[in-house]
Amino acid sequence: MKSLFERLRSRRLTSAFILLATLSVAIVGGSFAAHGVRGQEKQNDSADATPLKVVNSSTPPNEFVKIARQVGPAVVNINTQTLPKQTTNKGRRNPHSRIQPTPQNPGDEDQGDQPQGQGGMQDFFNHFFGGQIPDQEGGEDGQVRESLGSGFIVDPKGYIITNNHVVEKADKIYVKLSTDPDSQDLGRPARVIGTDKATDLAVIKIETSTPLPTVKLGNSDSTQVGDWVEAIGSPFALSQTVTAGIISAKNRTIEPGASGQFQHFIQTDAAINPGNSGGPLLNMNGEVIGVNTAIFTQSAGYQGIGFAMPSNTVVEVYNDLVSPSHKVTRGSIGIQFRQGLSGAVNRVYGFKNGVLVQEVQPGGPAEKAGIKPGDIITAIDGRSIKDGDDLVNEIASRRPGSTIRIGYLRDGKQADTTVTIGDREKVFADLGAQQTEKDTEDKGDVGEAKLGIVVREVSASTAAKLHTSGVVIQSVRSGSFADLQGLEPGLVILRVNKQPTGTKDQFDAVVSKIKTGDDVVFEIMDPRRPNDGLNYVGGTLQ
């Protein structure tokens, strides 16, 4: 089987080479047409031509050359495979056949109801540019989907940093070192040590009998706009590709709201393309100051704007991911706020710096400490809070169980209280459960709230035709979990996860116990084609 590089090269590059060759022939042909006739009048003699010689001089290596030689051996190519998923849906795209965008997770100290969806400039941000080759994306059942990315070794024992989206959903991960032979072998098997979706970072590991070359992590806080930087990676499977540019900006947040509150990128104009994901951005000391993560593009390729996760954030996340828990633990107090309030709000509420609390999670740390909506948080442990980012960074860095002293304004009066920090993951998991319960109550239908379907009990005639009881689907919400599984109005659900759903109450009881991350399998029949028998469809509830 041809390697992914060979297939990519043949599909992407061959046409370009053919085009260049064709142009060359045309130019030569044109030249002959213009000059060949008169040239034939003289004898084709080149005895007076002087042979060319290569000048044997050397150019001293510049800093980019030195850095490429120094760091290149520690930069790796990452190739992943996603195996076909079983499905009984026909005529419908398998939802597992493409890399899905990272879900909008509820955020610690969530920034309220700012736009979270795609639209405008956000449509052009391509976070998943380590992903599949386009003509392999969304293949039919039975097709193995491959994706490409980069990474760099930080521990001689084989620990590698890359992007979460490079390895997310992958069933097999392979790593190729710069010293590995260029063959059809995919590389060395790797396993995931830990991932962090909030920063789109991951740590993987390969086994090795000898120490591997490593990179050094630099201080991203000390970088300045205008500093030279160098990127190394595997764009379009072209491993060990080196590009250079400058730092264009710092502290860029490219996703609004909670999903972007831990993503404050370094912006660079160093050329970054599909396959560069997870590769290092280096300063002129050869130190990694960022992990190349995203690009802004209208062409799916380089347009001069790339984003790298700062190394200071990378170090903190890495140390948590290689700890015994293999996860990042962040503090939370269970509030939501609106970022970027107008000056009029500040003037009316009487504050210049601080955070206006929009919502307080019932039973959360802030509510237990007496914080209420409308309070303005101005200080933590005596230090003034500038804005929402400042508040999130301060609280997220604290360990669950520790306490902080929060200063706040209420009705223009200064007050303070002691808050016990909670675990962000647990605090907002509780919030998500409460919201699901609330949505269910508001909509009055657990199937609509969780799965996106409304059902009713089948009629007596339909039950007789099917020789069994169940619930018939009345409507399916577009884009919902049920829609992605291929469910449609008219189908009858007999069981969910092997539990009978002969009545609406039984269906609601089974579905109410399903949680995010659970596998959900429907046993269905089509009363229009009862002779087709039972059918099974399902997936993992996201």
Residues designated as active site: 165, 200, 277
Say if strands 216-217 and 287-296 run parallel, antiparallel, or are unpaired: parallel
Planar angle of CA 354, 356, 362, nearest 5 degrees:
130
As a residue count, the chain comes to 542
* CA 274 – CA 534 distance, rounded (Å): 43
Provide the CA 501 distance to its chain's centre, in angstroms.
37
Mapping DSSP onto H, E and C, the string for 361-388 reads CCCCHHHHCCCCCCCEEEEECCEECCCH
Provide the CA 26 distance to its chain's centre, in angstroms.
46
* CA 221 – CA 243 distance, rounded (Å): 22
Cα Rg of the chain, angstroms:
29
* CA 178 – CA 159 distance, rounded (Å): 16
Residue with tokens 């009363």: 527
Helix (H) or strand (E) holding 323: none
Q: Helix, strand, coil shares of the chain as percentages rounded to 5? A: 25, 30, 45
Task: With CA atoms as reference, report the closest residue to 82 among 70, 94, 67.
Answer: 94
